[in-house]
Structure 1
Amino acid sequence: MVAALKGLGLKDRAMHPYDHFWDLRLGISTFGYHPAVGMADHPNFRVHYTPVPYSILFRILSHIGLAANDVFVDLGCGLGRTVFSAAWLGAKRAIGVEIEGSLVEQADRNRAKDRWRDRNVEFVCQSAESYAHAETTVIFMFHPFGEGTMTSVIRGLDQTLAQKPRRLRIAYLNPVHSRVLDASEQLVRIDHWPAQRHILSRNSRYDVGFWAAGGNADLAGVSHFSAAI
């Protein structure tokens, strides 16, 4: 009996009732874990997957101010919690990019459920550096990979923005390689939330950086949380 229950995330659900509540409300299952790939000091390191607590996620997405014309992309989306949340909050399209096929398969099973069939949600199994951001207006990252991959991603994004200038916002949770974004030709850092503990989350130890490109790229007019997560 105990063996049959392993892998169902029952312990995580019990320890994180707020996250369990939102999974139930959205009709999805996003508790899970996938081990890291490679060594942490390698430029192509892939960080282990754990989902972002909803309490943190909703604050970040609200700060960005998702609009009905936004194309939202989560790089290293895992099981898709952030993608489904962005779609629920009103993004025109919500896309998850994930290199691990087993995670994409599980995310697609969530997407196939009735309440999501009419939503513009998509998961693609490919590397972050190979994804073409031709229409992207919002990017989310939860420290998904090493500096080498991040450099390739931002170099490609710079090229895309130079060819097709537009307003774009980036939220980078636990911004280990923030210097790569700071060195971008097209992006400007517009906000930073230092790490603080939030009452609704046991895991809010990460800070968040926000970058933007394009005209009127700041977050003026968007609900601003003076207390960081």
Structure 2
Amino acid sequence: MTEEQWDKKLKIHTTGRLDSHADQYRYPYEPTPYVVLERLAESGYLKKENILIDYGCGKGRVGLFLHHTIGCETIGLEYDASIFQQAEENKSSAARSRGVTFYHADAAEFPVLKADCFYFFNPFSVEILKSVMGRIMESYYENPRKLRLFFYYPNDAYLVYLMTMYALHFVEEIDCRDLFPGKDDRERILIFELN
């Protein structure tokens, strides 16, 4: 299905890029392509019993799609108030949204709660990522459990930082290069675990 067909099926509006409040620390809204989300959903790494936090959820595509296709609970965090409002509107109109929650929040300050999966599509700078990873590590030590982190289209700064985290273990990559022209090496989802 095309981007527009998926949006129509889910009864949401998530296409288009928004740069309204982007700066050197928080990056523009650009939705993860549905073909990438389909590949993630088919990978078997997410199950109905998982709880996923989508950092920089934008208009809510990732959470609404994964809840619709897998049935997992999803939590979306969005810093930009106007984009967060669009996520809330999408939740209200969505075909299925009972297990989806959005928060207008600063990712660096948000408690991880009971989540066990985390999704990142380069939503913010590595400086903010370090704070977020600190929160994830705190949650892990307070309540030890298997935690799985998904990094789509990772930038170099993220990769350098992630490879220095001793407790984080690289599991696999979901190759998405064949989904787009040009064979861009960043078209992949890197999967890490804490356990």
TM range (shorter): 0.7 to 0.9
Aligned partners of 2:18 and 2:27: how far apart in 1?
A: 9
Matches within 5 A, 1:66-145: 66-113=46-93, 115-116=95-96, 119-145=98-124
Cross-structure match for 2:31: 51
Query: Tell me, which stretches of 5 or more residues in structure 1 are unaligned?
Result: 1-16, 40-44, 215-229
**Residues 147, 63 of structure 1: CA spacing in aligned structure 2 closer, same or farther, 3 A cutoff?**
same
The CA RMSD over aligned residues, in Å, is 2.1
Larger radius of gyration: 1
Aligned length: 190
Cα distance, 1:81 vs structure 2: 0.7
**Residues 194, 141 of structure 1: CA spacing in aligned structure 2 closer, same or farther, 3 A cutoff?**
same
Match of 1:171, SS state, is: strand
Match of 2:150, SS state, is: strand
**Residues 67, 208 of structure 1: CA spacing in aligned structure 2 closer, same or farther, 3 A cutoff?**
closer
Say if 2:159 is the partner of 1:178. Answer: yes
Contact (CA 8 Å) 2:10, 2:94: kept in 1 or not?
Answer: no
Contact (CA 8 Å) 1:194, 1:207: kept in 2 or not?
Answer: yes
**Residues 75, 203 of structure 1: CA spacing in aligned structure 2 closer, same or farther, 3 A cutoff?**
farther
**Residues 19, 184 of structure 1: CA spacing in aligned structure 2 closer, same or farther, 3 A cutoff?**
same
Cross-structure match for 1:211: 192
Say if 2:11 is the partner of 1:32. Answer: no
**Residues 114, 63 of structure 1: CA spacing in aligned structure 2 closer, same or farther, 3 A cutoff?**
closer
**Residues 162, 183 of structure 1: CA spacing in aligned structure 2 closer, same or farther, 3 A cutoff?**
farther
Match of 1:153 among 126, 132, 140: 132
Cα distance, 1:78 vs structure 2: 0.6
List, as ranges, runs of 4+ consecutive aligned residues in structure 1 with deviation greater than 4 Å: 201-204
**Residues 127, 153 of structure 1: CA spacing in aligned structure 2 closer, same or farther, 3 A cutoff?**
same
Using the size of structure 2 for normalisation, the TM-score is 0.88
Aligned partners of 1:152 and 1:173: how far apart in 2?
A: 19
Instruction: String of CA shifts for 1:89-125, please: whole Å, max 9, x gaps.
Output: 23431111010111110111111126335x2111101
Query: 1:196 corresponds to which letter in structure 2?
Result: R
Cα distance, 1:195 vs structure 2: 6.1
Match of 1:95, SS state, is: strand
Cross-structure match for 1:8: none
Moved more, 201-210 or 136-145: 201-210
Match of 1:143, SS state, is: coil
